[in-house]
Amino acid sequence: MTIRKQNELQKPLLISLIGIGLVIMVATSLGKEVVKSVTDIMYIPVTAVFVTLTSILVCRFKKTGSHGKAWLLFLGSATSWFIAETLWTVYELVYNVNPFPSMADVFYIAGYPFLFGFLIYYLKPVKRAATRKMIVTAVIISTAISIPSIYMAYSFDPSIPPLENALATAYPIADAIVFVPALIGLVLFFRGEVNFTWSLICTGIFCLTIGDLGFQVTTFTNTYYTGHPVDIVLMWSYVLFSFGVYDHIKIFKKDRSIDPKAKMHSDDGF
């Protein structure tokens, strides 16, 4: 993708990110009940767009090679998180109950194996570019971030149900696992080994990790509420994922327009 095309995508992306932040900030000024409703409702169309765009890409690749399988797995993440956000909204706004722990957590966590599989398949065509030093460094950084988070998430209070403890600790572990290939992919992007799509998705994963960490800390300190600034970061992750998918749809169209009979191979799109 040319610099000009990247700039064309960056403008609406920036507007979307700033817009989400402004809406939640304005809603916050109107009270916690207002921001809770606004934030919960916003999550549904944001994740719905993510699912829709990924579905379009999956239909076009038709499970062809590593690339097609990668996007199919990414659709699994998008769908899982759409269901999770919808359930969270229903629990909070309809039933007025605490969504954690709940079935929403099952779908949140279910999205991570799909995301990890996507990252592995997406990096597969350029795996030789990932050096051992790069991999070891990514693992060290991820471990350094995850150990304090896991310790904080796990409660030693025997009155805490085992399921709640397991769910709480699953998030930092899942973030640590997907953070490794995401960090490797971002390094490869700056080295010119992978395309602009990858930078958007990796940045989305960083936002997801930071948002999860912020959610964990604020929950631990009893300062979290729906509409907290950490929700802005988490919503940004979905927006970045969506723009990454949209960018790849545009690449796909461009490749097809050049040669209508061209077949997408596992190495395409990098």
Taking residues 233-259, report their average pLDDT. 83
Question: Which pLDDT does position 229 carry in this prediction?
Answer: 96
Q: Which of 45-59, 126-140, 193-207 has the highest mean pLDDT?
A: 45-59
Tokens of 20: 């989400």
Note every long-range contact of 166-170, with CB atoms under 8 Å and residues 24 or more positions apart, other chains counting. Answer: 167/100, 167/101, 167/105, 167/109, 168/216, 170/109
Average pLDDT over all residues of the chain: 87
How far apart (Å, rounded) are the C-alpha atoms in residues 5 and 253? 14
Residue in this structure with the two tokens 């693992």, named with its chain if needed: 139
C-alpha to C-alpha distances, 5 to 1, 184, 200, nearest whole angstrom:
6, 24, 14
pLDDT bucket at 267, cuts 50 / 70 / 90: very low
Reference 141, options 76, 206, 85, 203; nearest CA is 206
Share of the chain above pLDDT 90, in %: 59
pLDDT bucket at 254, cuts 50 / 70 / 90: low
* pLDDT higher than threshold 60 for residue 65: yes
Tokens of 258: 């050049």
The model's pTM = 0.90
* pLDDT higher than threshold 60 for residue 205: yes
pLDDT bucket at 20, cuts 50 / 70 / 90: very high
Every domain of the chain and the residues it spans: 3-258
Question: Which pLDDT does position 159 carry in this prediction?
Answer: 74
